[in-house]
Amino acid sequence: MLHAQPSPGGDGTAEGGPVRRVWLSAAGICRDHLCRLSPESRYMRFCHAVDDGFIAAYCDSLHGSEVVVFGITIDGAWRAVAELHVVVGEGGRVAELALSVEDRWQGCGIGEKLVARALLAAQNQRVGTLFMHIHHDNRRMLALARRIGARLGPGPGGIEARIAPDAPDAFSLAREWCADTAGLFAAGLEA
């Protein structure tokens, strides 16, 4: 399992709390988070320049889709978000993973925590192939993809990382239940 490392010289808050599943109002949480990204981070996330209007329309499109959103809160705001978009097709279940971390908290390991949690969810949803579209200049995401054992190749707008999650088992189901329970408990404490 991937573990987060606090940023060097950080104040201890950079690692964030537990990864939480976003149960309600994912569109609003994603919109607020994505709008706080710098223009460069937005470019890396979407593989092209986007403005607040694009982000609002994108987040509104999340309603009704089969997307699972995970996030980490720091200082009372969602600072990092992973979106797991699951699609069921003729070849089985595939999923796209999109990850964004606000600039101040990049490079401190919270992205790895989110990816590990999303991989667990993909495993338990019987996803056969999980892929990420990564801009060719996004060194952090490329390094993360290599660390999780993804196969890298050319893809739309840059590089495509593919990984085949393990089949679900009792242990993975229990880990996900524990993670969701811990997230709900943390949310209750925060409230």
User: What is the number of helices (H) and of strands (E) in the chain?
Assistant: 6, 7
Question: Residue 20 in contact with residue 114, Cβ under 8 Å?
Answer: no
pLDDT digit string, tens, across residues 4-13? 333 333 333 3
Phi, psi (deg, nearest 5) at residue 178:
-65, -40
Place of tokens 């937005």: 42
Place of tokens 């209750």: 188
Domains of the chain: 20-190 (3.40.630.30)
pLDDT higher than 70, residue 2:
no
Return the ∠ at Cα 122 (arms to 7 and 18), rounded to 5°: 35
Residue 167 per-residue DSSP state = P
pLDDT digit string, tens, across residues 105-147? 998 899 999 999 999 999 999 999 999 999 989 999 999 999 9
CA separation for the pair 98, 165 (Å, rounded):
16
pLDDT digit string, tens, across residues 14-69? 466 788 888 656 678 889 999 999 999 999 999 889 999 999 999 888 766 678 89
Question: Residue 117 in contact with residue 70, Cβ under 8 Å?
Answer: yes
